Every structure is written in structure tokens, then in C-alpha cells.
Chains A and B, each alone.
Chain A
Amino acid sequence: MQFDNPKTVFTKVLKLGSLLISAIAVIGSLVGFLTAGIAGLLGALVGALIALIFVSLTALSVLIGSNLSLGGFYGVVLGGWLLKVVIFIGTIAIIKQISGLNRVAIFVTLVASVLGSLAVDAFVVTKSKIPVVS
């Protein structure tokens, strides 16, 4: 019987999550283009890109941190999280200044991508077979 380890779980999560967010980007840009023109299309793409970067960073930080000691692990995961939130606020502040992007399209694709990737995360973790004793 093939067992998973945290590395295979996070690699699978990153792959499936990227696929799902790409699909949401395609559908979102199509819907955005039909409802708000080019601004909607660009907004949907930007929203999906932000979601992809910020959602993947958490899984990536755990993947990198799992090679370190317990202190290093929490340093990477929590430090990464703090840095990510600060960069996220900065990114949104910059996007707010750019005209020609539909804000509703950004928000809707961002929320859809975040919720979709959560579903992928939960699915992969429940399907994974991690042995109780490592």
C-alpha cells in the first residue's frame, strides 16, 4: 500500500490548486468580458493571479518549513503568513490605483479561487494516506 507523506500531499495540492484556479481564470475572464468588456476580462485575470500566488504561498511555506527544525518550521510558516498579508494589502492598494480593471470581477474571481482552492485542499487532505507514525 502506497502511503503519502506531507511532501506528496503539498505537491498534489499545489498542482490541483493551480489547475482549478486556471480554470476559474478562464471562466471568470469569459464572464467578465461578456458583462464588463475588457475591464472585466483583465479584472478576472488579475483576481485569479493574486489568489494563485497568495494561496500557493501557504502550501509552499509548509513544504519548505517541513525540512527545518520545529522552530524553523513555525518561523517560515508564520513569518511567511505575516509577510503575505502585508504584501497582499500593498498589492490591493496598487490595484486600486489602476484604472481599467473591473473591481467586482477582481473580487468575485478572488473569492471563487480562494474557496475553490480550499475545497481542493480539503479534498486532497481527506484522500491522503499519511501513516500515524512517521
Chain B
Amino acid sequence: MDVNNIAALTGNLAVIGYGLAAVGPGIGVGLVVSKTIESIARQPELAARLQVTMWLGIAFTEALALIGLATPFIFA
């Protein structure tokens, strides 16, 4: 075995960037939505207010996804 070359990596490194850009916001949006569902289950009369707040949370999280997904494409 060649000790100088134990782990070889081939392919485009930017692909890892797309993956990471999808994982973070995916977890973020999942948390925002799950907590909103929980809150609406506790207080259904607050649904309208919670949906607006949830949308703000999703908007901030997805901004990260859009920037993260665009970065490897533009600078690759």
C-alpha cells in the first residue's frame, strides 16, 4: 500500500458545497415547521399569527440556502 496516498479524492469539490448548503437549511426549515405545528396544536386560534412568523423563519433560513447553492456554481 502506498502510504503517501491513503485517501484519494476525485471529482468536483463544489458538489460537497451543494450538499452542505442543502443540509443546514433543511434542518432549519424542519425545526421551524415542526415547532409551528406544535404551537398550532396547542393554540389553534393563533394559527394565522404563527403562519406569518413561520414564514419569516423560513424566509431567513432559505436565504442561506439560496446563497449557499449559488456560491459553488458562481465561483467554481
Most buried by A among B22, B40, B65: B65
Q: Report yes or no: B53 in contact with A134, Cβ–Cβ below 8 A.
A: no
- Size class of the A contact interface (CB-based, 8 Å): 35 or more
Does A104 belong to the interface (CB within 8 Å)?
yes
Q: Report yes or no: B71 in contact with A130, Cβ–Cβ below 8 A.
A: no
Give every chain A residue within 8 A of B74 (Cβ-Cβ).
92, 103-104, 106-107
Given known contacts A85-B65, A88-B69, A125 and B56 CB-to-CB distance under 8 angstroms: yes
Q: Report yes or no: A114 in contact with B63, Cβ–Cβ below 8 A.
A: yes
Does A6 belong to the interface (CB within 8 Å)?
yes
A114–B56 Cα gap in the complex (Å)?
A: 13
Residues on A lying within 8 angstroms of B by beta carbon are 5-6, 9-10, 51, 54-55, 58-59, 62, 66, 70, 73-74, 77-78, 81, 85, 88-89, 92-93, 95-96, 103-104, 106-107, 110-111, 114-115, 117-118, 121-122, 125, 128, 130-134
A93 to B, closest residue via Cβ: B73
Given known contacts A92-B69, A93-B73, A107-B70, A125 and B52 CB-to-CB distance under 8 angstroms: yes
